[in-house]
A and B are shown apart, each in its own frame.
Chain A
């Protein structure tokens, strides 16, 4: 479960919303509500997880798989697309946020 494995780093990143001036949003794309809620409870996740009820990820953002991260600037433009899991995902995203 590569996405779930990153949850502790993501939670850490979510805690830096104010410092880095951004909004963190998860987007569940498979419609697995019960499983998602179980994971949230188990991992004590506090960041918001949106439901993709219009196939935004697959048909509009064209993601090849999960996890895929999009970093959007203040003008609403997608400035980075990061595919797959990585150990230091929080630092990787934070570095992009600082530069856009």
Chain B
């Protein structure tokens, strides 16, 4: 029995070394880390789950999956255990050691979402208190989405979106935040201001869709169609929701070039695809740099 166990341990050690030697180690360990997180998250007993998630964070203090562990830990404490004191204490403990602004944003978002479900005014006050200390674009963007609820604080939502845009490093992220500021302003009835922000975010499908709607209402049909076409180029499903085909036929009777017009706007050059080694659900590694010379379709998804 002992001998078999020793052989098994040796075999596993050899397999681990082989995996490393074949350049699969990085990817395989990512799968192991996620398996560890999933095991901790699946613990039925809530207090034990919190401890397991906390241990996971301690074991992987620099790994991006700690962001998920944080949100699951806070959700368990707040929503399931109704332990506000425990949540506050875990949050304070984590914030004291977490210097990564993105990770801090995820932590604070957990508390904000909890407050939003419980007391919208308290959530708004909490969001307002973060303006001077935090700089996570995603934190402010997501808080903005929640605060757009008419029962929350739409003016604060605008402020959040603009803060998110200030902190966004990438143009797509920035455009999304500005588009949402325009959307919130339109909901507040501030159309001129809304249009100014939507124009700044042109190329973002949300901005283009709302701009198209506004321009159509104002009778500027050609400009509206242009905005709808820009939207459908990057958000193909918008072609149906905006009724683009019938509007296009109305403005351009007999025209048959809509497909081609959309396609011409769809294809561009965003720059190089980031490289890196990734692992799939079965532990197989994929080195994106080795796929040069091959066209790739990368489909970012979630199972929920």
Contacts and interface: CB of A to CB of B under 8 A. Distances in A.
Interface of A: 1, 3-4, 10, 13, 20-40, 48-64, 66-87, 89, 92-93, 95-97, 99-100
Interface string B272-295: 111110111100101000011111
Contact of A54 (B37, B171, B271, B276): B276
A70 B273 contact: yes
Interface stretch (B5-13, B63-71, B149-157): B63-71
Interface in B37-57: 37-38, 42
B299 A62 contact: no
A71 B295 contact: yes
Given A36-B281, A62-B171, 20 more contacts: A1-B303, A23-B294, A24-B297, A40-B281, A51-B31, A51-B280, A54-B64, A56-B276, A57-B300, A64-B176, A66-B302, A69-B298, A70-B297, A72-B298, A77-B269, A79-B269, A80-B266, A81-B234, A85-B237, A89-B236
A76 B34 contact: no
A87 B297 CA distance: 17
Interface of B: 30-31, 33-35, 37-38, 42, 63-65, 67-68, 102, 138, 170-173, 176, 205-206, 234-238, 263, 266-276, 278-281, 284, 286, 291-304
A9 B8 CA distance: 43
Binding site secondary structure of chain B: mixed
Contacts, number: 209
A100 B205 contact: no
24 contacts: A3-B302, A3-B303, A21-B295, A23-B296, A25-B286, A27-B298, A28-B302, A30-B304, A32-B304, A33-B35, A33-B281, A49-B301, A52-B300, A53-B65, A55-B64, A61-B274, A67-B302, A68-B300, A70-B300, A72-B297, A76-B273, A76-B292, A80-B268, A84-B205
A32 to B, nearest CB: 5
A21 B205 CA distance: 29
B297 A84 contact: no
Nearest to A54: B64
Contacts of B206: 64
Contacts of A39: 303
A48 B280 contact: yes
